[in-house]
């Protein structure tokens, strides 16, 4: 990861080289993957790196996030 030197598990990005991801250029892809499959540390990094507005937009408009993930994050994003 270029920004913040955070290293994701390769299993989180099984279909690409995680070391080549750019947090700005690939933000939607990263957010979708972390929301669906990320661990606690990765989710904390996500919340520090991206604004609530961007995360909410991805939750609302993503066509790849699992329905259960979307429902959970819609609830979590309303609470704060």
Q: How far is CA 7 from CA 31, 49, 63, 69, in A?
A: 14, 13, 25, 23
In this prediction the pTM is: 0.87
67 is written with which tokens? 């329905």
Contacts 24+ apart (CB under 8 A), 2-6: 3/49, 4/45, 4/49, 6/45, 6/49
pLDDT of res. 80: 57
- CB 50 within 8 Å of CB 31: yes
Number of domains in the chain: 1
Find the domain containing 55 and state its range: 3-79
pLDDT in tens, 14-50: 899 888 888 899 999 999 999 999 999 999 999 999 9
20 is written with which tokens? 């080549």
pLDDT at 63 over 90: yes
């Amino acid at each position: 990861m270029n920004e913040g030197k955070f290293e994701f598990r390769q299993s989180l990005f099984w279909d690409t080289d995680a070391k080549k991801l750019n947090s700005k250029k690939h933000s939607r892809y990263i957010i979708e993957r972390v929301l669906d499959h990320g661990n606690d540390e990765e989710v904390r990094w996500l919340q520090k790196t991206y604004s609530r507005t961007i995360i909410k937009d991805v939750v609302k408009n993503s066509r790849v996030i699992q329905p259960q993930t979307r429902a959970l994050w819609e609830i979590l994003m309303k609470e704060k």
